[in-house]
Amino acid sequence: MLITAIACNSNKNEPNSFSIEGKLRNPQKKMIFLNDISSGKPIAIDSVMIDEDGSFELKGNTIIPSIFILHITKDNFAYLLIEPKEEIKLTSDFRNLQKFLKTEGSKGTILVTELWQKLSLVQSQLDSLKSIYQKNAASSDVQNIIDDLNRKSGSIVSQHKEYLQNFVKTNSTSLASIIALYQPIGRDRFLNINDCYDSYKMVDSVLMSRYPNSTPVKALHVEIENYRNRLTQGSVNKASAETGSEAPDISLPDPNGNIVKLSSLRGKYVLLDFWASWCRPCRLENPNLVENFMKYYKKGFDIYQVSLDRNQNDWVNAINNDKLVWKQVSDLKYWECVPAKQYGVESIPANFLIDKDGRIIAKNLRGQALGEKLKEIFLY
């Protein structure tokens, strides 16, 4: 490690060099490391022992803006977005580098820190709503509580999506915009490429013209090219799942291995819903499905859920835990799920409302929107 540090320090006059001057509260005399992770694999850049007063200095070189990770342990780290010639000053707390990170001299790192802090706040808010539901699951007023929690969670997610889209538009020349596009919610993204293709396309266009040799930029470009190819190859299937068209039939096994066809529910209004046990937004939406199923089932409403799970036990446990009593099917092929491809599903949750004659009359009705549509159908 000492050899690496000396080698980096000797390059301080190079045109592509950068430096980091740090100060940590509550320090311990431990090593702190800087790795370049732009290529997807960590490359050691520099390391040094933290002084007793919490100070440290790190140096390195980069030809183009690159993503780095500053870490003390594998669980205690912070992301940095560094450009050539930057002289960075940062402060944080030894116990949690990312949470308390404050930076001067690196616009990219400031943007990345803002993204992380916004995401952390959203995750905390959603966890708080989940905790409220768990505490009140046995309450006699649980349905009103679920309705309120669904409205609040939907609002939190929608507001964060809007924030991310504005962030990308404002910072399209920064690699931080790629990090914004990729912000996760469960195993999905807040801004999935299917719903936010224009944002992906804009970032790709701007960054490919500026940093064509950047690994993250090239990876984004490949993802968009693959998406375009999938749209072209699957154009017939996607067109067949548009509003107004007849819903393609589905024939898959339920948890007991019995084949259940979507067409077996013909004569009812059916919500075809794609979900998975590992999909957090799906699980948050399930109470809303339960509420609407109980309200309208006797009036001629049903649900047919297709899971993108890979593990039978995870799928069945989620069905039981979320109290899902309608038709459940899966081929346990994850994103290779045949019906998902047939319906052009690129992200979940995704749903299609089908009328009594088997025609798609609406798509992606979530939260309050589903209840309003069913009320329109059954009460007017």
| Count of Cβ atoms closer than 10 Å to residue 102 Cβ | 12
Give me the pLDDT at residue 72, please. 97
The answer to whether residues 56 and 46 touch, using CB atoms and an 8 Å cutoff, is no
Q: What is the mean pLDDT of residues 256-266?
A: 91
Task: Write the pLDDT tens digit of every residue in 176-229.
Answer: 999 999 998 866 788 888 778 889 999 999 999 999 999 999 999 998 888 787
Give me the pLDDT at residue 138, please. 81
DSSP state of 250: -
Task: Write the pLDDT tens digit of every residue in 87-111.
Answer: 999 999 999 999 999 999 999 999 9
Taken in order of first residue, the domains within the chain and their CATH numbers are 2-101 (2.60.40.3330), 111-233 (no CATH), 239-378 (3.40.30.10)
Dump the DSSP string for 131-189: HHHHHHTT-TTHHHHHHHHHHHHHHHHHHHHHHHHHHHHHTTTSTHHHHHHT-EETTEE
What's the burial of 213, exposed, middle or buried (CB within 10 Å: 0-12/13-18/19+)?
exposed
Q: Within a 13 Å sphere around the CA of 189, how many CA atoms are in the beta-carbon half?
A: 17
Average pLDDT, the chain: 88
* Residue 322 or 150, more confident: 322
Task: Write the pLDDT tens digit of every residue in 40-50.
Answer: 889 999 999 99
* Residue 240 or 202, more confident: 202
CA dist 210 and 380 (Å) reads 56
| Count of Cβ atoms closer than 10 Å to residue 99 Cβ | 14
The answer to whether residues 350 and 364 touch, using CB atoms and an 8 Å cutoff, is yes
Residue 358 pLDDT > 70: yes
pLDDT-based confidence at residue 306 (cuts at 50, 70, 90): very high
Q: What is the mean pLDDT of residues 242-256?
A: 87
Residue 368 pLDDT > 80: yes
What distance, in Å, lies between the first and last C-alpha atoms of the chain?
73
Give me the pLDDT at residue 272, please. 97
Give me the pLDDT at residue 34, please. 97
Give me the pLDDT at residue 7, please. 36
Residue 2 pLDDT > 60: no
| Count of Cβ atoms closer than 10 Å to residue 204 Cβ | 21
Give me the pLDDT at residue 376, please. 86
Task: Write the pLDDT tens digit of every residue in 262-271.
Answer: 999 999 999 9
Share of the chain above pLDDT 90, in %: 60
Residues 6+ apart with CB under 8 A from 343: 237, 238, 241, 248, 272, 274, 350, 352
> CA 109 → CA 9, 17, 181, 200, 202, distances in Å?
21, 16, 16, 21, 21
Return the structure tokens found at 118.
């916004």
CA dist 20 and 73 (Å) reads 18
Residue 11 pLDDT > 70: no
SS3 state of residue 62: coil
> CA 35 → CA 47, 83, 249, 313, distances in Å?
9, 14, 50, 38
Share of the chain above pLDDT 70, in %: 93
Which range is least confidently modeled, 28-32, 217-221, 237-241, 304-308? 237-241
* Residue 65 or 341, more confident: 65
Q: What is the mean pLDDT of residues 331-355?
A: 89
| Count of Cβ atoms closer than 10 Å to residue 261 Cβ | 14
CA dist 104 and 298 (Å) reads 62
